[in-house]
Amino acid sequence: MHFKPDDTHNPDLQSWVESANDPASDFPIQNLPLCAFEVTHGEGEHRHSHAHPGVAIGDQILDVGMLVESGWMDREAPEDLIDALQQPYWFGIARSPRLVHDLRVVLQRFLAAGAGGGQQIRRLRDKAVRPLAETKLVPPLPIFNYTDFYASVHHATTVGSMFRPDNPLLPNYKHVPIGYHGRASSIVISGTPITRPKGQQSPPDSDPSAGPSFGPCKLLDYELEVGAYIARGNELGEPVPIALAHDHLLGLCLVNDWSARDIQKWEYQPLGPFLAKNFATSISPFIVTMDALRPFRRAAMERPAGDPKPLPYLSDPDDQSHGGFDITLEAFLLTEQMEAKGLPPHRLSKGSFKDMYWTFAQMLTHHASNGCNLQPGDLIASGTVSGHTPDSRGCLLELTWDGTNPDGKPKPRKPIQLPTGETRTFLADGDTVIFKGACEREGWRKVGFGECRGKVRG
């Protein structure tokens, strides 16, 4: 396991891509998150497209595939890295995550300000970058398996309070990372429109005998999450020891696991989420590698006195001291009316990933503890990231919750007030939800995740 920063994190490094040197940029030369983008060749019936691997640098995308095809990599990179880059997307790197560091070293050499080279290299630099705003990004790895966890104790406590005020957390919560298998086929890249789902909804409280109804979701919500891509997997029947779990993680992204609260209320018992969750999950286009995140590792959340210690298979001193991440997470809302008036998105919440009860290493280890075979490119998500303050709650279900009356019945939900005079308790058609995430620490360059956004359509 490698947690300490090295020369690739040097805050003094600059790039000839000037936008990367802006302190506000998510993508300085110290980050270089992995992505993939669509390249089209030919015309008419001969027109075809395929994905090229790239990394974000400032407001540009560096075409890593072009560096391989040009022969530049042959002179600058180790042979095993070149072989890995010949594989589709980032599968070669994912299967051998130790190569991520080699990749960062080589790409920083190409992107560094003041790097030498003749006319041929200067032409390659001009050709190898393209504006991010004009590039069609695709998922950096095809995702075949997706698991969503419930790792924020603050989220679990607030939601539990809505249904079990006297006992919000179920007895298993502090012993086992809770998760469920999601639908990988409905994971979509940031910017993809989200169609309001339809489904069965419970009979009205005022008339339980009326029976359930079927129709569009009325209580559509977002969930602010962080996702982790699996690097190398494990064979069926062979668990992953927690001491090795970090070597099975490639990097992190932002996730919006959209939720139809009214559909979920009716269907989730006894087997858990189904149609209320599988209609869409949005991901940001970039994998911020574990290597890039080294300066922002932190100790796992300190458990309150009296909480049980994790069982031995979920306990590791290195994970306890470095299993957390200092990631600031923000959720914004942009309504159609705000957009028409030229208003900026309205921030709904701001929280931190450091408040998670379970680490990604614990989630991964538990996932594989029964011998389940994880595969390169699989995605595991944290579940809604919420803090202990009301303004750090990561979904509308929590943000609009106003507690209970003395008789134990819930108070009416407290609507979100927007700059236009509009209010929201849940999402309306035309609303755009935007997530942002970044790591900042004194003495180091900011490392960001870009955006994860989606617009609701009816």
Domain 146-457 has CATH 3.90.850.10: yes
Domain positions in the chain are 7-138, 146-457
Chain centroid to Cα 198, Å, comes to 26
pLDDT value, residue 403 = 87
Residue 149: partners with Cβ closer than 8 Å, 6 or more residues away: 177, 178, 179, 358, 363, 380, 381, 382, 383
Domain 7-138 has CATH 2.60.120.260: no
Within 136-212, strands assigned E span 137-138, 146-149, 179-181, 187-189, 194-195, 198-201
pTM of the full structure:
0.96
What's the rounded Cα separation, in Å, for the pair 220 and 170? 25
Rg for the chain, CA atoms, rounded: 23
Q: Which residues of 169-202 are buried (b: 16+ CB within 10 A; e: fewer)?
A: eeeebbeebbbbebbbeebbbbbeebebbebebe
How do residues 348-380 score in pLDDT, each as one tens digit? Answer: 999 999 989 999 999 999 999 999 999 999 999
Residue 448: partners with Cβ closer than 8 Å, 6 or more residues away: 25, 26, 27, 31, 288, 436, 437, 438, 439
pLDDT value, residue 163 = 85
**155 an active-site residue?**
yes
pLDDT value, residue 46 = 63
What's the rounded Cα separation, in Å, for the pair 360 and 228? 7
pLDDT value, residue 391 = 95
pLDDT value, residue 404 = 85
pLDDT value, residue 195 = 98
Question: Could you check whether 7-138 and 146-457 share the same CATH topology?
Answer: no
3-state DSSP assignment of residue 225: strand
On whether the CB atoms of residues 258 and 281 are closer than 8 A, the answer is yes
**Hey, CA dihedral for 179, 348, 186, 239, is it positive or negative?**
negative
The Cα angle at residue 26 between residues 24 and 32, in degrees rounded to 5: 135
Is 391 exposed, middle or buried, given 0-12, 13-18 or 19+ CB atoms closer than 10 A? exposed
Q: Which of 52, 155, 366, 367 is catalytic?
A: 155
What's the rounded Cα separation, in Å, for the pair 198 and 138? 27
What residues of the chain score a pLDDT lower than 70?
A: 1, 41-46, 48
HEC sequence for 226-292: EEEEECCCCCCCCCCCHHHHHHHEEEEEEEECCEEHHHHHHHCCCCCCCCCCCCCEEECCCEEECCC
In this structure, which amino acid lies at residue 136?
A: K
On whether the CB atoms of residues 199 and 219 are closer than 8 A, the answer is no
